[in-house]
Amino acid sequence: MTVSKKELDKVSECIERFKDKPGALLPLMHAIQDNIGYIPEDCYPQIAKAYNHSVAEVHGFVTFYHHFRRHPAGKNVLQICRAESCQSMGSEALEAHCKQTLGIDYHQTSEDNLITLEPIYCLGNCACSPAVMINDQVIGRVTKEKINNLIKKLK
């Protein structure tokens, strides 16, 4: 995966922005991901140099956190809560249904690049389990019908 010039410029901008901030790596990685959707490996050396880390350290940092993506996601990200409260209300069947409908497993993107499917561990919506998050929107008491409609709406 090669990074485009435009993406590289964005990354450089972010790197500049947090240069004097203590504990900069967290906000920096968020900014990069918010801007271009993922954190390209090609940028590790530049980040390492700017923040006085080794490339291995930058790699170690990005891979430690589940939230950070090393590859671009599809147009939408569908996260299904796998944690206990949602399990008690049938999230397992919901997971199976989504995987089957989309023809993909977790951490994969549908062929039309529409949806990336990811597991998540609690959305704080446990009062209305099972819960999913589509992009930044949480949806509660999700049924198969509800999820089918949501997926349809994304198309």
Partner 1 sequence: MSYKIYIPIDSTAKSLGANEVAHLIELKAQSRKIDLQIIRNGSRGLFWLEPMLEVETDQGRIAYGPVTENDIESLFDAEFFMGKAHPLCLGVTEEIDWLKKQERLTFARVGVIDPINIKDYEKHDGFKGLKKAIQLKPNEIVKEVTDSGLRGRGGAAFPTGIKWQTVHDVPSDKKYIVCNADEGDSGTYSDRMIMENDPFVLIEGMIIAGLAVGADKGYIYLRSEYPDALKVLNEAIETAKQNNYLGQNILGSQFNFELEVTRAAGAYICGEETSLLESLEGKRGMVRYKPPLPAIEGLYGKPTVVNNVISLATVPIILDKGAKHYADFGMGRSKGTLPIQLAGNLKKTGLIEKAFGITLRELLYEFGGGSATGKPIKAAQVGGPLGAFIPEAQFDMPLDYETFAKVNAVVGHGGIVAFDDTVDMSKMARYSFEFCAIESCGKCTPCRIGSTRGMEVIDKIKSGIDVEKNEKLLRDLSETMVDGSLCAMGGMTPFPVISALNYFPADFGLDKDLSKA
Binding mask 45-74 for partner 1 (x = CB under 8 A): ------x--------xx--xxxxx------
How far apart, in whole angstroms, are the C-alpha atoms of residue 47 and residue 95? 37
Of residues 39-98, those binding ligand FES (CB under 6 A): 81, 83-86
Q: Which of 155, 69, 63 is nearest to 115 (CA)?
A: 155
- Picked from partner 1, ligand FES, none, the partner binding residue 14 (CB below 5 to 8 A depending on kind) is none
Of residues 118-137, those binding ligand FES (CB under 6 A): 122-123, 125-126, 129, 131
- Note whether 30 binds partner 1 by CB under 8 A: yes
Confirm if 39 and 72 have CB atoms less than 8 A apart. Answer: no
Helices (H), the chain: 5-17, 25-36, 44-51, 55-64, 84-88, 91-102, 144-154
Confirm if 116 and 74 have CB atoms less than 8 A apart. Answer: yes
- Note whether 44 binds partner 1 by CB under 8 A: no
Instruction: Please state the closest distance from residue 68 (CB atom) to partner 1, in A.
Output: 6
Which residues in this chain contact ligand FES in the complex, by CB under 6 A?
81, 83-86, 122-123, 125-126, 129, 131
